[in-house]
Amino acid sequence: MTKEERLKASEGTSPDVLAQLARDRDYNVRVRVARNPSTPPEILVQLARDEDRDVRWRVADNPSTPPEVLAELSRDENYYVRWNVTLNPSTPHEILTQLARDENYNVRCSVAGNPSTPPEVLLILMVDDDEEVRKAAERNLCTIVTISLSL
């Protein structure tokens, strides 16, 4: 297959084709497989260990990524991968709580802005050393309170 054919095939839903393309030498093909919501969990597990951070952050961003893979990626050496875990709507509260203590302020800021972050974690982030983290936590907590009051 040509690169263009492999890229197009990576957007399909055939598990056998996706499994084959997950091992492609071209990282662009692996990135497309990693971001495809039809990619089976066992292939996402494999791609979560890819040497290329762009592939790993696409796995972190994929709403079909299983929680145990998100937990693994939340400990990735690259902050960009950890940051994308915080953006995933499927990320469990426990992982968001862990990432609220991340050394990188971008990761903490994203946790502070995530609507799934538990209020008790937002209260902790409201006293973070970084002003942007504090502001994001405050905005998020205000949104949660406003929604709760309107119900």
Mean pLDDT for the chain? 93
pLDDT in tens, 23-40: 999 999 999 999 999 999
Residue 35 lies in a domain: yes
Tokens found for residue 28: 């662009």
Q: Are residues 61 and 108 in the same domain?
A: no
- For the chain, what percent of residues have pLDDT higher than 90? 81
Q: Are residues 53 and 4 in the same domain?
A: yes
Task: Report the number of distinct structural domains present in the chain.
Answer: 2
pTM: 0.87
pLDDT in tens, 45-76: 999 999 999 999 999 999 999 999 999 999 99
If you compute the radius of gyration of the chain from its CA atoms, what whole number of angstroms results?
17
Show the domain range for 26. 1-66
Residue 74 lies in a domain: no
Whether the pLDDT of residue 147 is over 60: the answer is no
